[in-house]
């Protein structure tokens, strides 16, 4: 199938696109769309994370679980929402930690993280699609195999990446990352239910930049300019 994804990723993942599980994902999405189900993010944005952050440019990986399932929210970047949409609570808590960690004042009414993605932050959800108003509805259709392959590719073919694993789901997803080659940062999830139990104070953003600079890699400007 002709997947609309940047050249670097398309070449590196070419075998995945031919596998039965991936063809099954495509078939299921086609059936749901034909039956008038609303799927998020919109089709052209399903691979937005890969089209905004090419394989050769990845410096940091932030693993999310599921796209937002409300109208006009998801656009293919984990934790990010489209322009004009108020940041959800987890993203607000991420902003609070950046302010505490780096002293950067973050916007409260702007949640599009494309600026991070363009600098090399791969904002990767474990599932790349979801049915409208039905959280985790596509978590079992095969996306987990694809995103596991992405993480394995990054782990084996790159070095000196920073993986931010927030919450048990992300920690399990990244359980096999080689910590002798990469920096793996773990914390509680930034959701309102867990942020004060180990996300606040994790200082992942300063730690990431320190590691990148020690590795001779340009750091990330975490400021989001609305």
- If DSSP codes are grouped into helix, strand and coil, which group holds residue 225? coil
Please report, for residues 7, 116, 146, the alpha-carbon distance to residue 139 in angstroms, rounded to integers and kept in the order given: 26, 25, 12
CA distance 188 to 52: 27
The Cβ of residue 54 has, within 10 Å, a number of other Cβ atoms equal to 16
Q: Which residue has the tokens 């890699």?
A: 217
Catalytic residue among 2, 57, 66, 178: 66
Chain-centre distance for alpha carbon 46: 12
Chain-centre distance for alpha carbon 163: 11
- Alpha-carbon torsion (206, 207, 208, 213), positive or negative: positive
Q: Is 20 labeled as catalytic in the residue annotation?
A: no
The residues carrying an active-site annotation are 66
């Amino acid at each position: 199938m002709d997947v609309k994804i940047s050249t670097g990723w398309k070449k590196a993942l070419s075998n995945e696109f031919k596998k039965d599980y991936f063809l099954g994902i495509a078939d299921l999405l086609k059936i749901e769309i034909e039956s008038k189900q609303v799927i998020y993010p919109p089709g052209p944005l399903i691979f937005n994370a890969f089209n905004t952050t090419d394989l050769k440019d990845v410096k940091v990986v932030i693993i999310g679980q599921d796209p937002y399932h409300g109208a006009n929210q998801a656009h293919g970047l984990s934790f990010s929402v489209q322009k004009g949409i108020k940041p959800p609570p987890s993203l607000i808590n991420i902003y609070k930690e950046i302010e505490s960690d780096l002293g950067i004042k973050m916007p409260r009414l702007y949640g599009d993280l494309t600026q991070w993605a363009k600098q090399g932050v791969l904002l990767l959800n474990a599932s790349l699609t979801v049915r409208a108003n039905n959280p985790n509805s596509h978590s079992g259709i095969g996306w987990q195999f694809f995103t596991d392959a992405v993480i394995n590719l990054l782990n084996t073919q790159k070095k000196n990446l920073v993986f931010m694993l927030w919450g048990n789901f992300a920690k399990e997803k990244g359980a096999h990352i080689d910590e002798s080659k990469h920096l793996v940062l773990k914390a509680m999830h930034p959701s309102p239910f867990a942020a004060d139990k180990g996300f606040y104070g994790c200082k992942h953003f300063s730690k990431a930049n320190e590691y990148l600079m020690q590795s001779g890699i340009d750091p990330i400007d975490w400021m989001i300019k609305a």
